């Protein structure tokens, strides 16, 4: 019971501080996820030892489920933040980023892991799949908040938001592919991947999420017409929709994370444009409340001994993944992305592809399903490097771009 009360006090205190100091934190080099991680380290077994996650059960599995809920809440927030017609008006850019960019980031990360750590290719693919998605939680530091809105163009923020919203769920087939190849005969693995994973888990997940989002939006309109709904209930509806899709998706065996994003987009088609400023504010408040705990938990269970065992190669891998996984690719794809209208914003888009809660989720997912900890160890080390590098550079890069734009006028 003391552990529970301590955990509640830590999370409540952290969210309170983050809320009261939201503007200074937004403008500082210390991001919310990094602050949460440091608090977890400080209070965990490697710090003051006030919280011991090993006493709670399987800490890695707790992190997996916590990260899944965190991603769901964050993806719903992204879907509601986007203009309702954005995915349809900019489908070519999204197709380029998701159809070419994401598989390329998967292969680049895998090959870097294979080369630096000397792992067999299938094991390297597990690591590559774990870290290939652009994380919506850490990315929020450069697409929301005063600094981002004052300095960065909407077109960039919408593009990064929509990419990070979609590719968290689409990373799932890339993570599953090496797992299937390691556990099934070759032909069976490919048939299972194309049929069960893509057609059912991804395809049916999108349809199920879209249907539930459309139905919830339609029900909201009906309730408003009959004056059954008080406006403050809007927040509870979006959170409830997130939890509904996450639960139903898992029960029917589909990709619930991708389903949440589809549900949010479909819901927004029904209700988009109504009191959007208030909607953004309340949704961001929920994001802060429900996304920081996963990074506290990450700090509590961070595998310091396993990171140390990776040695210099682990550090080199983290640096190379951050530098080469995304930036060269975005420079090559720039001509097909109208939102990247100048070179500075292309460099920012190329650099700022953070790795965070999604990698924690997939690293835990791989560990629980294969018994192999390498994807978790390497993936979580890259998450730490990303939180440091991207958290420290988000506000300075945004301000510098804003100054550059103002000087051009």
pLDDT for res 409: 64
List for the chain the helix, strand, coil content (%; round to 5).
85, 0, 15
Domains plus CATH for the chain? 2-61+82-182+284-408 (1.20.1530)
Q: Is the pLDDT of residue 281 over 70?
A: no
Q: Is the pLDDT of residue 141 over 80?
A: no
Ranges assigned E (strand) in 228-274: none
pLDDT tens digits, 13-29 = 766 776 666 666 666 66
Distance in angstroms (rounded) separating the CA atoms of residues 259 and 201: 10
pLDDT for res 381: 96
**Residue 355: DSSP 8-state:** -
What 3-state DSSP class applies to 74?
helix
Q: Is the pLDDT of residue 289 over 80?
A: no
Distance in angstroms (rounded) separating the CA atoms of residues 285 and 281: 6
Q: How confident is the model at residue 53 (pLDDT cuts 50, 70, 90)?
A: confident
Q: Is 121 exposed, middle or buried (0-12, 13-18, 19+ CB in 10 A)?
A: middle
Percent of the chain with pLDDT over 90: 47
Query: Nearest 5°: CA angle at 310, between 304 and 316?
Result: 110
Largest Cα–Cα separation, the chain:
64
pLDDT for res 277: 45
pLDDT average, residue stretch 166-171: 90
Q: What number of other Cβ atoms are within 10 A of residue 103's Cβ?
A: 14
Q: Could you tell me the pTM of the whole model?
A: 0.92
pLDDT average, residue stretch 301-327: 95
Give a three-class secondary structure readout of 83-137. Answer: CCCHHHHCHHHHHHHHHHHHHHHHHHHHHHHHHHHCCCHHHHHHHHHHHCCCCHH
Distance in angstroms (rounded) separating the CA atoms of residues 301 and 323: 27
Highest mean pLDDT among 23-27, 321-325, 401-405: 321-325
pLDDT for res 125: 96
Cβ atoms of residues 34 and 391 within 8 Å? yes
Q: Is the pLDDT of residue 93 over 80?
A: yes
> Scanning the structure block, which residue is given the tokens 């030892």?
49
State the sign of the Cα–Cα–Cα–Cα dihedral 349, 353, 357, 359: positive
């Amino acid at each position: 019971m003391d552990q529970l009360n301590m955990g509640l006090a830590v999370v409540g205190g952290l969210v309170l501080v983050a809320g009261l100091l939201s503007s200074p934190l937004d403008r500082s080099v210390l991001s919310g996820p990094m602050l949460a991680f440091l608090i977890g380290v400080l209070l965990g077994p490697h710090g003051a030892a006030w919280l011991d996650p090993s006493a709670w059960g399987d800490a890695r599995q707790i992190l997996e489920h916590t990260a899944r809920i965190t991603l769901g809440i964050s993806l719903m927030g992204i879907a509601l933040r986007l203009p309702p017609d954005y995915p349809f008006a900019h489908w070519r850019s999204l197709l380029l980023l998701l159809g070419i960019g994401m598989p390329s980031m998967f292969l680049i990360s895998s090959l870097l892991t294979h080369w630096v750590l000397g792992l067999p290719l299938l094991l390297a693919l597990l690591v590559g799949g774990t870290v290939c998605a652009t994380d919506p939680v850490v990315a929020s530091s450069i697409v929301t908040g005063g600094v981002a809105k004052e300095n960065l163009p909407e077109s960039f923020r919408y593009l990064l938001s929509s990419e990070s919203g979609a590719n968290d769920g689409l990373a799932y087939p890339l993570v599953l592919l090496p797992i299937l190849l390691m556990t099934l005969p070759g032909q069976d693995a490919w048939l299972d991947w194309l049929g069960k994973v893509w057609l059912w888990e991804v395809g049916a997940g999108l349809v199920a999420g879209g249907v539930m989002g459309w139905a919830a939006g339609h029900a909201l309109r009906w309730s408003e017409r009959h004056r059954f709904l008080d406006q403050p209930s809007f927040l509870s509806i979006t959170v409830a929709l997130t939890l509904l899709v996450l639960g139903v998706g898992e029960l029917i065996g589909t990709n619930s994370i991708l389903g949440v994003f589809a549900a949010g987009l479909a819901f927004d088609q029904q209700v988009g444009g109504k009191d959007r400023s208030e909607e953004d504010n309340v949704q961001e408040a929920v994001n802060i409340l429900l996304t920081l705990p996963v990074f506290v938990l990450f700090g509590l269970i961070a595998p310091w001994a396993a990171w140390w065992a990776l040695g210099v190669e682990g550090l080199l891998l983290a640096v190379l993944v951050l530098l080469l996984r995304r930036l060269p690719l975005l420079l090559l794809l720039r001509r097909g992305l109208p939102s990247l209208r100048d070179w500075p914003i292309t460099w920012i888009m190329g650099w700022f592809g953070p790795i965070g809660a999604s990698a924690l989720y997939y690293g835990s997912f791989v560990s629980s399903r294969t018994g192999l900890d390498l994807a978790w160890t390497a993936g979580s080390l890259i998450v730490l490097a990303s939180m440091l590098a991207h958290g420290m550079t988000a506000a300075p890069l945004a301000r510098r771009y804003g100054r550059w734009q103002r000087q051009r006028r």
